[in-house]
Amino acid sequence: MRAVIGGIPGVGKSTVLDILRAKLGARLEVVNYGTVMMEEAKLRGAADRDQMRRLPAQVQREIQASAARKISSMKVEFLLVDTHFSIKTPQGYLPGMPSHVVSALAPDALIVLFASAEEISSRRAADATRVRESSIESVREELEMERLFAVAASNECGAPLAMIMNRQGEAEGAANALAAVMGV
Ligand SMILES: Nc1ncnc2c1ncn2[C@@H]1O[C@H](COP(=O)(O)OP(=O)(O)O)[C@@H](O)[C@H]1O
């Protein structure tokens, strides 16, 4: 079973995935799509994520695609690809799972993890280690775009899309809902 999970920064994705990892142990492999992309980019001479972002767009597309092929060849009972369906950039929202990527991954399920804009906004504001836009308006827009791009990816690959809410103080519940969607 191969699934793709996306969620905007601060939604609690790392927290929920850690809980699921603790439950499933070796049956589950969580693969961070950005990390695999970076491994592929290193083979093409980029030293870090900033250099990767500055590579010609066509090279970045190739990196995205080869990361997807690498992930789709992994053999494990439950594989969860940790990513973002949309990435906010100064030029606009970038699709994290454009058609050539989601088709190469061929997931069985897509999941968007979401939370209330108010909670995400206060979690971002509390995290002094990162510089992130934390206004409620901005978070609301990102949440909406994450959903819209996930719908587009679902339509592209034909996999069902589940929406899972990470309620304040109930990350365990969100991890259980995720396990249920994955058929654990
Ligand atoms: N259900 C929840 N209830 C309360 N706090 C949460 C919940 N989920 C995550 N958090 C907290 O929110 C912050 C961001 O969570 P994190 O998992 O790092 O987000 P992400 O990986 O999506 O950026 C952390 O301080 C985490 O402890």
**CA 175 to centroid of ligand 1, rounded, Å:** 12
39-81: pLDDT as tens digits: 999 998 899 988 888 888 888 889 999 999 999 999 999 999 9
Q: What is the structure's pLDDT at 133?
A: 84
Taking the C-alpha atoms of residue 106 and residue 152, their distance in angstroms, rounded to an integer, is: 14
* Half-sphere CA count of 90, side-chain side, radius 13 A: 1
Is the predicted pLDDT of residue 127 greater than 90, yes or no?
Answer: no
Taking the C-alpha atoms of residue 99 and residue 71, their distance in angstroms, rounded to an integer, is: 16
Q: What is the structure's pLDDT at 130?
A: 82
Q: Is the dihedral of CA 156, 159, 160, 164 positive or negative?
A: negative
Taking the C-alpha atoms of residue 69 and residue 40, their distance in angstroms, rounded to an integer, is: 11
CB 8 within 8 A of CB 132: no
**CA 45 to centroid of ligand 1, rounded, Å:** 34
Is the predicted pLDDT of residue 128 greater than 90, yes or no?
Answer: no
Q: What is the structure's pLDDT at 54?
A: 85
Task: Map out the domains of the chain with their CATH numbers.
Answer: 2-31+79-181 (3.40.50.300)
70-99: pLDDT as tens digits: 999 999 999 999 999 999 888 899 999 999
Residue of 15, 122, 124, 142 to mutate, ligand 1, most atoms within 8 A of C-beta:
15
71 appears as a binding residue in the annotation: no
**Percent residues over pLDDT 70 in the chain:** 100
CB 122 within 8 A of CB 132: no
150-179: pLDDT as tens digits: 999 999 999 999 999 999 999 999 999 999
9 appears as a binding residue in the annotation: yes
70 appears as a binding residue in the annotation: no
Q: Tell me which of 112-116, 133-137, 145-149 is least confident.
A: 133-137
**CA 179 to centroid of ligand 1, rounded, Å:** 18
**CA 14 to centroid of ligand 1, rounded, Å:** 7
One-letter amino acid at 111 equals I
**Percent residues over pLDDT 90 in the chain:** 84
**CA 169 to centroid of ligand 1, rounded, Å:** 9
Taking the C-alpha atoms of residue 73 and residue 163, their distance in angstroms, rounded to an integer, is: 26
110 or 91, higher pLDDT: 110
Q: What is the structure's pLDDT at 173?
A: 98
Closest residue by Cα to atom 15, ligand 1, is 12
Alpha helix (H) residue ranges in the chain: 13-24, 33-43, 49-54, 57-72, 99-105, 117-126, 136-157, 171-181
Q: What is the structure's pLDDT at 90?
A: 85
Which residues form the pocket of ligand 1, taking CB atoms under 6 Å from any ligand atom?
A: 7, 9-15, 123, 166-171
Taking the C-alpha atoms of residue 139 and residue 8, their distance in angstroms, rounded to an integer, is: 8
What's the pTM value of the predicted model, to 2 decimals? Answer: 0.92
Among all chains, which residue has been given the structure tokens 């206060």? 122
How much is the mean pLDDT over the chain?
94
ipTM: 0.87
